[in-house]
Amino acid sequence: ALVTAPIHKFAWQMAGINFPGHTELLEKQTESNEVCMLLTSEDISCSLVTTHIGLNAVSQALSSKKILKVIRLTHHAVSQMHPEKAHGIRIGVLGLNPHNGESGLFGLNEEVKIIEPALKAARDLGMDVIGPLAPDTAFIQANRDRVDAFVCMYHDQGLIPLKLLAFDSAVNVTLGLKIIRTSVDHGTALDIAWKGLASDTSLQSAIQLAAKLSEAAASK
């Protein structure tokens, strides 16, 4: 297993490393074909259909195939992290637009044209999925109580609620790699470097989860 510390993405670019982050670099180096990010904690877990792209590029980057891939990877990851739930996993899938687009009034009707077909395909594969969930109410307690993980359409849609609820303890897991990789859920925080203020809680959680996933893989 591989556990990584945070990187400064702009510093990477200045050094000539032409990848947005670890996820994309490891996908290339391990020749993995299906990869996505999952941020997980005891309180909430969110996986991302798109990652480090601008909001203006999200809609065009979405496809039913890509959403189904993330649902499958997320479902499998939850079964590994929580084997006691293996036969009762429920995935909540978010919409993209305000109020799920209001029947096409907002956005390009992505909920109907792209997201709902992915949900149907997941159900046809036997997975319990609900959605599309309206993004503004997706993470209320009632939904968190009935959902094991959320599939989010873009970076901040998933990371804002996760970091509000579990900033110090969440773990970043790269799903779909040919190796197990976990990381912290925060950045480099250069402004507090060498001041004795940084917390290592997320790093500890990342190491513990990497060990747990390694044990699960070895037992198969």
Q: What is the DSSP string of 90-145?
A: EEEEE-SSGGGGTTTTSTT-HIIIIIHHHHHHHHHTT-EEEEEEPTTTTTSHHHHH
Token readout for 4 is: 């990584």
Pairing of strands 45-48, 181-184: unpaired
- The pLDDT value recorded for residue 24 is 87
In the chain, what are the domains? Answer: 31-218 (3.40.718.10)
Q: What share of the chain is helix, strand, coil (3-state, %, to 5)?
A: 45, 15, 40
Q: Going by C-beta distance under 8 Å and a sequence separation of 6 or more, which residues neighbour residue 121?
A: 64, 68
Place of tokens 């479902």: 75
Q: pLDDT by residue (tens digit) across 132-143?
A: 999 999 999 999
Over the stretch 141-194, which tens digit does the pLDDT of each residue have? Answer: 999 999 999 999 999 999 999 999 998 889 999 999 999 999 988 888 888 888
- Amino acid identity at 47: S
* This prediction's pTM: 0.89
Residues of the chain with pLDDT under 50: none
